Amino acid sequence: MKKVLMLCVLLLIFVSCVSKPETVYKKQQGTKFQWYHSDVSKEIPEDKEVVELIKPYKEQLYKEMNRVIGYAEVDLVRGKPESTLGNFVADVIFDTAKHFDKDVDCAITNSGGLRAPIYKGEIRVKDAFNLMPFQNRIVILRFSGKDFLELIREIVENNGEPVSNLTITVNDGLIDAYVDGKQVEDYKTYKVATIDYLYKGGGSMPAMQRGELVKDTRVLLREAIIEYIKKHKNINEKIEGRIVLQ
C-alpha cells in the first residue's frame, strides 16, 4: 500500500507524459507563454478527509436513489413511431399540465430526450434520473390550428414523436390528426403541453417555437415523472395506435 502511495507521489512530482511544448514570445511585452500537459494516471489515491466529508451525503443520496416508487408492468422502451416509453412520458406531461389548465388539448415531447428505458419490475428514483437527466420544465403553449397542423407535419417527418391525447395517422401521404377523437381543424386554437426545451427551439420540431407561452408550470419533467409513478404505482403502457404511419 505504502509503495503504491509513494509511486503516486512520484508520478505527481515527475510529470509523466508531456506533449506539444510550444512557446510564444513577444519581445516588447516581455511575456512568454509555454504549455504542457501531463497525464498523472488514474491511480491517484482519494483524500481520506474529503471521502469522509462526502460519505454521509453519498449514503443518504444512494438510499434515496434506490427507493422503490412503483412498478413497471411492461418494459418501457424508446421507439418509433410510437413507443411504450414515449407514451408514458407524454401521458405524464399531459396529466401534470391538466392540473394547471383543464383545457389542455394534448401533450407532445421529443423521443431524443428520453435517455434511458425503464424495464419491467420495480421502478426506483434513479430510473427517473436516468430517463430524464435534464432540467426540462413542463410548459403549456397555445397554437393556431394552422401552426398546430405544421407541428403535426413535423412529427410525421420525424417518423413520430411521443404524444398524448393526440392521434396521428398517415394514409397515402395524407395526414389525419385527432384530439379527443375530434379532427384537428385549422380555424381552431389548441393548447399543447410540452417541455421548455422544445419551446426554445431544441429537438427537431421548429414549429414548437410558433406556440404562444400560456403557462410555465415550473414543474421539472423528472419531478413530474416521479410524482406520476408514486400516484399510479403500477405503470402499464401499450402501443395503441397513437401514431400510425402508412
Partner 1 sequence: MMDRRDFIKTVFFLGTATAFAGPDYLFNKKSVIHIFHTNDVHSHIEPFPLTDKRFPGMGGYAKRQTMLKEFRKKYGNILLFDAGDVFQGTPYFNYYEGKLDYQLMSKLGYNAATLGNHDFDNGTDKLAEAMKYANFSVVSSNLNITHPILRKKVKPYEIYVRKGRKIGVFGLTVDFKGLVTEDNHKGVEYVDPVSVSKKMVEFLKKEKGCDIVICLSHLGISAYKTDIGDVELAEQVSGIDVIIGGHSHTFLDGGLNVVSKDGWNTLITQVGFAGVWLGHIVIDFDNVSKNKNILAGKYKV
Residues that bind partner 1 (CB under 8 A): 8-9, 12-15, 17-22, 24, 26, 28-42, 44-47, 49-51, 53-54, 57-58, 60-61, 64-65, 126, 129, 135, 200, 216
Choice between 55 and 120, CB closer to partner 1 = 55
Choice between 132 and 168, CB closer to partner 1 = 132
Strand order in the sheet with 174-179: 182-183, 174-179, 166-171, 243-245
Which residues are within 8 A (CB) of 78 and not within 5 positions of it... i.e. 6 or more apart?
85, 86, 111, 114, 117
Smallest separation (angstroms) from partner 1 to the CB of 241? 36
Give the cell for residue 229. 409513478
Q: Is 217 within 8 Å of 137 (Cβ atoms)? A: yes
Choice between 37 and 182, CB closer to partner 1 = 37
> Helix, strand or coil for residue 245?
strand
Rounded Cα distance, 132 and 152, in Å: 24
Smallest separation (angstroms) from partner 1 to the CB of 136? 12
Choice between 65 and 244, CB closer to partner 1 = 65
Rounded Cα distance, 96 and 47, in Å: 44
Choice between 53 and 68, CB closer to partner 1 = 53
Rounded Cα distance, 138 and 199, in Å: 10
Choice between 1 and 13, CB closer to partner 1 = 13
Rounded Cα distance, 162 and 87, in Å: 6
Smallest separation (angstroms) from partner 1 to the CB of 181? 36
Q: What is the DSSP letter of 45?
A: P
Give the cell for residue 28. 516588447
Smallest separation (angstroms) from partner 1 to the CB of 170? 35
Smallest separation (angstroms) from partner 1 to the CB of 202? 11
Smallest separation (angstroms) from partner 1 to the CB of 100? 16
